[in-house]
Amino acid sequence: MLGREEQLLAALIVEAALGYPAAVYRRIGHPVTWIGALIAAIEVRMNRGGWGARRVSGCALLAVLALVAGGAGWAIEEIGWVAVIVLLATTGLAQRSLYDHVAAVLGPLAAGDVVGARGALAMIVGRDTGALDEAGIATGTIESLAESFCDGVAAPAFWFAVAGLPGLAICKAINTADSMVGHRDVRYAAFGGACARADDVINWLPARLSGVMLCLVGGGGWRTMLRDAPAHASPNGGWPEAAMAGALGVRLGGPVSYDGEPAARPWLGQGRAPDARDLRRALAMYLRACLLLWGIVGVLAWLR
Query: 247: closest CA among 223, 267, 273?
Result: 223
Residue 1 has pLDDT above 80, yes or no: no
Band (215; pLDDT cuts 50, 70, 90):
very high
> Given this model, what pLDDT does residue 76 score?
95
> Given this model, what pLDDT does residue 165 score?
97
Residue 13 has pLDDT above 80, yes or no: yes
Handedness of CA 129, 130, 131, 132 (dihedral sign): positive
Do 288 and 16 touch, CB atoms closer than 8 A? no
Residue 52 has pLDDT above 80, yes or no: yes
DSSP 267: E
When pLDDT is averaged across residues 40-44 and rounded to a whole number, the result is 97
**Alpha-carbon gap, residue 74 to 21, rounded angstroms:** 25
Q: What is the pLDDT of residues 19-28, one digit of tens each?
A: 998 888 899 9
3-state secondary structure of 170: helix
* Residue type for position 185: D
**Alpha-carbon gap, residue 148 to 175, rounded angstroms:** 11
Residue 143 has pLDDT above 90, yes or no: yes
Residue 85 has pLDDT above 90, yes or no: yes
> Given this model, what pLDDT does residue 304 score?
79
3-state secondary structure of 215: helix
Strand partners, 267: 253
Q: What is the pLDDT of residues 239-267, one digit of tens each?
A: 999 999 999 999 999 999 888 888 889 99
When pLDDT is averaged across residues 49-65 and rounded to a whole number, the result is 97
Do 125 and 147 touch, CB atoms closer than 8 A? no
Average pLDDT, the chain: 96
**Alpha-carbon gap, residue 109 to 116, rounded angstroms:** 8
pTM, whole model, 2 decimals?
0.95
Q: What is the pLDDT of residues 219-239, one digit of tens each?
A: 999 999 999 999 999 999 999
Strand partners, 252: 268
Report the percent of the chain where pLDDT is more than 90. 92
**DSSP E strands: which ranges in 191-278?**
252-253, 256-258, 261-263, 267-268
